[in-house]
Structure 1
């Protein structure tokens, strides 16, 4: 880009000595926080509305097997493309093109469910899920790179919190809309109007991708772009292999794998098989609202003043482990209660007005949502703590999405095969706690800053300076 097109250029002044309004608009557009809010709203419209659908259990359908298999196709496609396909493409074309390439798949998926309501064409839903998996790879790699590199290091926790609040507001609003439209429903399936409304919102989010700013325009001093002469497929793939083979990243992979592994159990068993359709919609709203609260709490902890970055990592890990044991312990009590009810032939019958039986399971589902925000925000923060380069971060986010999707695909397939709910629960709890233990070495070696002179060697022995504490530390491989 020519210097005259950079965001940090001097304001344009007209003949009357007044700053050109176009320059003011450009300054707003290229501001890092405007871009964070924009990508958050795009995710509010696209994956946020998708979450509203999946949170209903079976994507709002009585036949949960079709939705589960669609999720398997979706996550398998994401796992196959996020790291070694979308990551290198992102480095070549940037976040805007990636968002436009991937965003259209969200309204397609909602349209397939609308079609299923009339034709019961499950093959179309599964195919749309596979296409959405590829589209989601493009969207999430772009989103992760923007969220973790477009703001200064001292604001990364707040950026993650802001994103998580706005993004999950989409799931909350979508679920509340479904709750209203299905309040008197007795069919067990959401109405056509619900799918149409979500389709329109998803399409709007996709089109908003044209306003995403290229990394070279963003006014953040630490932001590093890959030099144009270095952009070729061989070097990009070599950089991807070099990045993910670092031992710290390898310690984080179980965290990534477990990030979505509990969705199938929580959405299709806890919510989908316990409550009626209107209560599932209400629970979906409460689940995503709890995600907003969880994102705010963990974001503030990860930017906590008075603690260096390594200590904030340790505090966040302790929070995840302690709350995880407590919440999953409550889940074990629920699962024994659920098994007793299932043995009596009771399912999808609990209404939120049945206070004697609904309060405990509903609060458990809320806490599950809060814990999901803790987990994923921590993963994103660890990615942001590793590099300030959009290219390197795209690789790390690609690795995150690849392993996250692989774990989710495994879990959804187990759910689709009808494995016992207690088996699914035990698998989720064990994987989550085991992943936290496996990540301890990476957490304890979080460095004071991710600034470096050469981002492809971000994990190599490089001296860097903590911008807050004014100390020098050595990043050891």
Structure 2
């Protein structure tokens, strides 16, 4: 009897092990396909790739004494992004999905860091500029995939906090990279960063590229509002038609000046405010503070965009007012700095301020921090408007492609103006005017933000009823 019992027990044990393995696999799959796991994953990928790139550019001239090569590389990068993001990468995303796009684009980041390492040894500026152009194409794949994931993989009520979480983790990359550079160049007197800085950033960028294999396609993500197009409906003609139809919508046209201005101030802030004012170690420290300020800025604007007690229309208007008020205040402070900067340049004073010189360093450093905050306000608001337009990853990819195209076109123009040596006051006035003008032109798009992006009329009605009930509960509590 005991032998018989043992014989019967054996398959039961194996069945239990199989059930346990299936449960473990199910748990892992549920975690992998959870919307917030994917948001965190894309955030850490961007921490490693664009985040480390930001650490480089935040040093002023990508850490080089001669800023012209880095400025021209940025022109090549942004021009390539502008040429490919909308009508090349957007349709490709619709056919192959985010994982393939991330793998196609991620390797170009370590290539760019390697070109700067090579420049330190050989002064081969052509390689840096060519690597910048290749990175521009790769960045299109990265940012279109990132934008589609961030704006559609979470419920509508959580899009503001998804943008905030992404912005915090992504800019932590720039902050950590800049702090590492600050430590490695603390005693440097050469004016250029060390080879070790470029090597460390290259390794981290390569790691971020490899993490792209863990991104899952939209059809796997468990979000009720996520609209996934059937494979049978995907073809190049329909994809291109959708892209043209999306970009020519009058609401999107009103948002294009916002997109164009999203990176227009980087060249002035990084190469003039930081790059021409401070010494190398303080530029590294400022870079860290700039990207950390973006983390705070992303959190603040995320809370505003998901503010409880207000429907989506009201949140859009409150966020616009916040951007306009803070923009006028910060750029107004920038005007005072620019007049002071011009007086110093007339005396031949440049790249000489150390963070320990409290009498002259505190004001410009805090201005640079506020510039970082405002960048987070601006770009988060742009992404939120994209997310408020559609829950379809394919349409979101087109909108993000439009965003990156016009953002890169504006950035390329600004970097070229910086590279040809236009006066700093001219660059400052252009940036301030474009930003405030773009906000004014975006008013019609902001005023027509709908309560929901759902295509089902019953879902829209249900959303309005839920928001009405929520408002009533808030009023009763008050």
Q: State TM-score, norm by structure 1.
A: 0.93
Structure 2 equivalent of residue 186 of structure 1:
189
1:26-425 matches, within 5 Å, as 26-425=29-428
SS in structure 2 at match of 1:367: helix
Residues 1:21 and 1:446: Cα distance change in structure 2 (over 3 Å): same
State yes or no: 1:467 paired with 2:443.
Answer: no
SS in structure 1 at match of 2:463: coil
**4+ long deviations beyond 6 Å:** none
SS in structure 2 at match of 1:275: coil
Does the 8 Å contact 1:320/1:374 carry over to 2? Answer: yes
Distance in 1 (CA, whole Å) between partners of 2:52 and 2:135 is 13
1:347 Cα deviation from its structure 2 partner? 0.2
Distance in 2 (CA, whole Å) between partners of 1:409 and 1:90 is 24
Aligned residues: 453
1:466 Cα deviation from its structure 2 partner? 5.2
1:438 Cα deviation from its structure 2 partner? 0.2
SS in structure 2 at match of 1:351: coil
Q: Which runs of 5+ in 2 are unaligned?
A: 1-14, 469-478
Which stretch of the first structure deviates more once superposed, 247-256 or 217-226? 217-226
Distance in 2 (CA, whole Å) between partners of 1:290 and 1:318 is 20
Which stretch of the first structure deviates more once superposed, 133-142 or 224-233? 224-233
1:318 Cα deviation from its structure 2 partner? 0.5
1:226 Cα deviation from its structure 2 partner? 1.4
Distance in 2 (CA, whole Å) between partners of 1:14 and 1:128 is 55
1:15 Cα deviation from its structure 2 partner? 5.8
| Aligned CA-pair RMSD | 1.4
Residues 1:277 and 1:16: Cα distance change in structure 2 (over 3 Å): closer
Question: Rg bigger for which structure?
Answer: 2
1:450 Cα deviation from its structure 2 partner? 0.5
Distance in 1 (CA, whole Å) between partners of 2:217 and 2:202 is 27
SS in structure 1 at match of 2:460: strand
Distance in 1 (CA, whole Å) between partners of 2:385 and 2:418 is 30
SS in structure 2 at match of 1:183: coil
Distance in 2 (CA, whole Å) between partners of 1:469 and 1:295 is 30
Which deviations, in whole Å up to 9, do the C-alpha atoms of 1:306-350 show, x marking residues without a partner? 000010000100010000000000000000000000000000000
Distance in 2 (CA, whole Å) between partners of 1:145 and 1:305 is 25
Residues 1:386 and 1:466: Cα distance change in structure 2 (over 3 Å): farther
1:469 Cα deviation from its structure 2 partner? 4.0
Does the 8 Å contact 1:465/1:471 carry over to 2? Answer: no
SS in structure 2 at match of 1:349: coil
Structure 2 equivalent of residue 4 of structure 1:
none
Does the 8 Å contact 1:261/1:407 carry over to 2? Answer: yes
1:211 Cα deviation from its structure 2 partner? 0.2
Which deviations, in whole Å up to 9, do the C-alpha atoms of 1:208-252 show, x marking residues without a partner? 000001110000111111111211111100000000111100000
1:468 Cα deviation from its structure 2 partner? 6.5
SS in structure 2 at match of 1:467: helix
State yes or no: 1:440 paired with 2:436.
Answer: no
Does the 8 Å contact 1:14/1:20 carry over to 2? Answer: no
Distance in 2 (CA, whole Å) between partners of 1:330 and 1:266 is 13
Distance in 1 (CA, whole Å) between partners of 2:451 and 2:429 is 36
1:23 Cα deviation from its structure 2 partner? 1.0
Residues 1:139 and 1:466: Cα distance change in structure 2 (over 3 Å): farther
Distance in 1 (CA, whole Å) between partners of 2:162 and 2:182 is 30
Structure 1 equivalent of residue 473 of structure 2:
none
Does the 8 Å contact 2:311/2:467 carry over to 1? Answer: no
